Structure 1
Amino acid sequence: MGLERLDRLEREFPITVQTKAFILRPDIGSGGIPHSLRSGETPDGELAEPLRSHAKEAGLVMRRASKVSYTLPSLQATKYAAEKGAEIPFHRALYKAYWEEGLDLESRDVLMAKAKACGLDADELDARLNSDHYLAVVEQEYQEALDLGINGIPAFRMGPFLFTGAQPYEFFRQVAQRVLSRDTSER
């Protein structure tokens, strides 16, 4: 959802998007854990409000997967994709894999298939994952987020403003306008 809102902002304002890794559930180890239904969710994966409405407004398909994935491998794979200039397409592919297809983002098969679909070298990615090539970067970005007080995703920083959660697009617009008006007045 956040990516859709950022896409719209980029079309409307002169902004540049930079993503950072965030380990959403550091308590989950390799193998993941079964997903527990939250209040308002259904066993077939339907989300609770307000997430359901936000997804619908953004034109996104979102269903809860049966498992909460261990995401460190996918975060490292995304760093590889960024290095190769395919971060956003790869991120979208992983989003679809998890939220639409219910796939496990820890699975090497899933990561390799999505990498290939994005035109990336799956063998090179596999070697980088085997060596934990991007682990230090992912951990550093995670620590930076914690130091800023971020404890969940999506989280956004525009200029001096930091906010989290699935906010409506109008909220993003208002923050962007404030940042840009501040930048203009400081010149």
Structure 2
Amino acid sequence: MNNHITDLTGQVFGRLTVKEFIRSKNGNAVWKCVCECGNEKEVLVQQLKRGYVKSCGCLAKENGNKYAKNNLHSDEVKKKALARKLEVDSVDGTMKSALTRKISSRNKSGIKGVRWNESRKKWEASITFQRKYHFIGRFVKKEDAIKARLEAEEKYFKPVIEKNKR
């Protein structure tokens, strides 16, 4: 260690305890520190003394998790986010994005709102509109279920889509 560098060995800065001098980088001392969590970190002396670095990064992670838990996941924030989404994406209580959404990868019929009921051995058609589930019916033929679903889309979705175009 150079004679002009103050020995910080053993000093504590936040969660960091200074272990040893590493090198001088552009006239700035770099120290190896050990965090309370056990991780090691190399830190410039100015960052330690000015309080810019207080841990290996675990403190920021903990604070971020606390912030997220208290702010991002609160019921109030969720309600505000839903209100914003409804304001932008809603027409008469119906989400425009839901009307044009792609088919789920879990869909086995290839048509939204049409599914095979294994216990009844029939095709079922349904539609959700303005957050209400509407059961259309059960059909022996898949084609009949698809036709019924498409008719329901015309009845429920088309007026909303047309209204949105204006």
Q: Tell me the TM-score normalised to structure 2 length.
A: 0.20
Specify the structure having the higher radius of gyration (Cα): 2
Structure with the higher helix share, 1 or 2: 1
Q: Tell me the TM-score normalised to structure 1 length.
A: 0.18
Structure with the higher strand share, 1 or 2: 2
- Greater RCO (CA < 8 Å, at least 6 residues apart): 1
